[in-house]
Amino acid sequence: MRPVLTLLALLLPGIALAQPVPEALQGAWFQGDCARPEAMLNLTARAAARMPRRGPGRLLRFAASREAGGWTIGTGRGPEAPRLMLRPAGEALETVEPEAKAREDRLPGEAPLSRWHRCAGAPPALAALHGEGVAVMAVLEHLEAGCGGGDTQACLGAVVAQADVSGDGRLSPAELARLARGAAWLVAVQEGMTAENLPGALAAGALAGQLAARLAVDGLDYDGDGRLSPSELAQDRAGFGTARGTAEGRPLHGEAAGAGLEALRGLLSGLGLLK
């Protein structure tokens, strides 16, 4: 038994495991002056978002990660399987984004090494532009954890737990709109949008999100308190109650699906669009 365990311990670092980004490395990192950083890198357990002051940003959501030579190597999804290597260096963080052609056994290859440092506080303008998106980047990981198993109740519980800013256990239009705004940020960064163009994309996303959130609440708020409770979200969808129907009547066509339900589905599937 013992040799088997030892062997496993040796093998594990080489196997593609969905290991998270080490907790000590998570959060915001910067390059340059803290008052006006050249670039920001945000790490959550399973994702990295890099936003330079100029040029396109990048979002990497790790499908797998492994440890090798002191590096954590995260690999994203998609045909290119983009990689990010990170390791602590004293108080700093070092990263490499290996070229697509770099061989797995010769990492980091030719790509340059970047160094990042912490700042006591994020500059207000950066926080205003990216703060909500970064928060939803973390929310998304919780939703994926709660919604991956096919258990609707657990999934809805995760949605409410993550989206409920006010802590009243119910979701207001503003709380839903926040998710939509964060999703718009994630999609924009994933598409390589520059910091200059980001505000415009976020404004459009905010407007659409506001509308979707309002429709979702209007369509599902059965007790009319202006907020969605977990049971309202689950109503008729977490299982089958006794829905006997009636022999009377005949099939009707063209009945619109509940606009609110559609909007909520749109909101959540918008998050699901992310690679």
Position among 8, 99, 118, 166 found at the interface with Ca ion (CB under 5 A) = 166
Angle between helices 124-147 and 198-220 (to 10 degrees): 50
Phi, psi of 173 (to 5 degrees): -55, -40
**Count of residues in contact with Ca ion, rule CB under 5 A:** 4
**Identity of the residue, 98 or 173, whose beta carbon is nearer to Ca ion in the bound complex:** 173
- Write down the least CB distance from residue 166 to Ca ion, Å: 4
Task: Give yes or no for a contact between 217 and 261, defined as CB atoms under 8 angstroms apart.
Answer: no
Residue showing tokens 């909101």: 267
**Identity of the residue, 38 or 168, whose beta carbon is nearer to Ca ion in the bound complex:** 168
Interatomic CA distance for residues 77 and 129, integer angstroms: 26
Which listed range, 108-116, 141-149, 157-165, 208-216, lies at the site for Ca ion (CB under 5 A)? 157-165
- Write down the least CB distance from residue 168 to Ca ion, Å: 4
Residue 164 binding Ca ion, by CB under 5 A: yes
DSSP string, 15-39: S-BBPPPPGGG-EEEEES-TTS-SE
SS3 assignment, position 96: strand
Residue 225 binding Ca ion, by CB under 5 A: no
Interatomic CA distance for residues 103 and 82, integer angstroms: 12
What is the separation of C-alpha 61 from the centre of its chain, rounded to a whole number of angstroms? 8
**Identity of the residue, 196 or 225, whose beta carbon is nearer to Ca ion in the bound complex:** 225
Which listed range, 160-168, 177-185, 228-236, 242-250, lies at the site for Ca ion (CB under 5 A)? 160-168
**Identity of the residue, 170 or 178, whose beta carbon is nearer to Ca ion in the bound complex:** 170
**Identity of the residue, 166 or 231, whose beta carbon is nearer to Ca ion in the bound complex:** 166
Position among 168, 196, 223, 225 found at the interface with Ca ion (CB under 5 A) = 168
Residue 196 binding Ca ion, by CB under 5 A: no
Which listed range, 29-37, 49-57, 86-94, 159-167, lies at the site for Ca ion (CB under 5 A)? 159-167
Task: Give yes or no for a contact between 9 and 32, defined as CB atoms under 8 angstroms apart.
Answer: no
Phi, psi of 37 (to 5 degrees): -65, 150
Interaction site with Ca ion (CB under 5 A): 164, 166, 168, 170
